Amino acid sequence: MHYLIASWTHKNTDIKLREKLALNDEGKQKEILRLVCANSNISEAMALSTCNRVEIIVCADDIKKATKHIFNSLSLLSQVSPQILQYRATIYENEGAVHHLFSVASSLDSLVVGENQIPGQLKKAFKFAYNSANAAGEIFSLIHFALKTAANVKNLTQISKNPVSVSSVAVIKAKQIYEQINKSLNGANALVIGAGQMASLVCKHLVANNTNITLVNRTAQKAQNLAQNLNGVIKVEDFSKLNELLNSHRLIFVATSACEAIIKDELIRPCEFRRYIFDICVPRNVALSEQDNVEVFFVDDLDEIVRQNLELRQDQANEAYAIVRAGVVEFYKWLKAKNSAPAIKALRDKARQVCEQELKIAIKKGYLKKSDEIEAKKLLHQAFKAFLHSPSVALKTLNDKTTLNALETLFDIKIQNDDEII
């Protein structure tokens, strides 16, 4: 079995391609897992889709065949040619795949290094794959150790302190723009469209800057709930007023889960003031032609602030990568021990059976008294335990298929490989 990850991120694709690949609803998520797992070479699979990445994680017998199948499957769903997918993809195999996933979980591969959203997104992606019967023991163990490593990075470094996200970077960019035009976010009016996690983070950062927020969402109750949870003075308006609100606000943040553009040319009227629209959605929710006094920023336009963020956190990132490497070592150590456990158990069961059988014969023939049976059992147990110590230690590193097959033949045992979720 091999671990394999096919990855398309902000590092190797632009936003146009990522929004075509985005698995932004349950239907697409279920379909990509169905397509990928239809190949008998792939035993387990999960898909991670965020604003900055789409990654397919699988357990496969043959890496080359599995990779080709992933390209073909994603091509069917996204209508992007397999050739383009292959050209843009970064492929991680085995230990490289483990290291990459642990880095992703630890927010070291994010557009904004140290953001706190990715572990939750990873948990959600695995849960969906597990409930869809596409991921079980092998991927469970991988995700378990990935999240454990992420927790160590968070607790042992400062990289996630004063958390930064794409939402916060958008607010930072808005703050910079306002400073350039001799204005301040303090007391300014901002329109936030959406009521999910991204919108919530935008609102939190705007509240911290004493910005007056007007919140609008298709589901009014979600907007009301968000306003109440923030305990800030947030005005909630009905979605039917979106047109009016777009043309009365200078500062606009779009953070919805819509699968297509909701802000188009027909909604925008000429205004005397310049508008700044931040679309932090993938797929993009803003589709405007070039207009006077309207400036639109997408996720990929925040790169400069992200670069500065990375430079500031580089020392902490180096420490974090050391923790990731240690996590990878720990995982493989556990994996080897896990693989050897059934063989060690089979050997000990065989030794116990032989000892008990010979003990019964010895008592039956009068070589030992019945009253000595308990003490004799203890002695035999210690003897076979001592005898099997060296083979048990060796099996923790030498547990390949050839070795295990040889053990079965030499000792007449059956090694049961149960993929238990721990």
The dihedral through the CA atoms of 384, 385, 386, 392 has a sign that is: positive
Residues 6+ apart with CB under 8 A from 24: 49, 257, 259, 282, 283
CA-based nearest residue to 378, from 343, 360, 352, 354: 352
Say how many C-beta atoms besides its own lie within 10 A of residue 330's C-beta: 14
- Cα 13 from Cα 111, distance rounded (Å): 12
Determine whether 51 is an active site residue.
yes
Rounded Cα gap, residues 62 and 361, in angstroms = 51
**Distance in angstroms (rounded) separating the CA atoms of residues 269 and 200:** 28
* Cα dist from 400 to 50, 137, 333, 350, whole Å: 37, 19, 14, 20
Are 21 and 111 in contact, with CB atoms under 8 Å apart? no
Contact predicate 283/22, CB 8 Å:
yes
Q: Which of 337, 319, 284, 352 is nearest to 51 (CA)?
A: 284
Q: Which of 51, 59, 203, 281 is catalytic?
A: 51
Cis check: omega of the bond before 119, within 30 degrees of 0: no
- Integer-rounded Cα Rg, in Å, for the chain is 29
CA distance linking residue 386 with residue 388, whole number of Å: 6
Task: Measure the CA–CA gap between 215 and 210, rounded to whole angstroms.
Answer: 15
For 341, the token pair is 């456990």
The residues assigned a catalytic role are 51
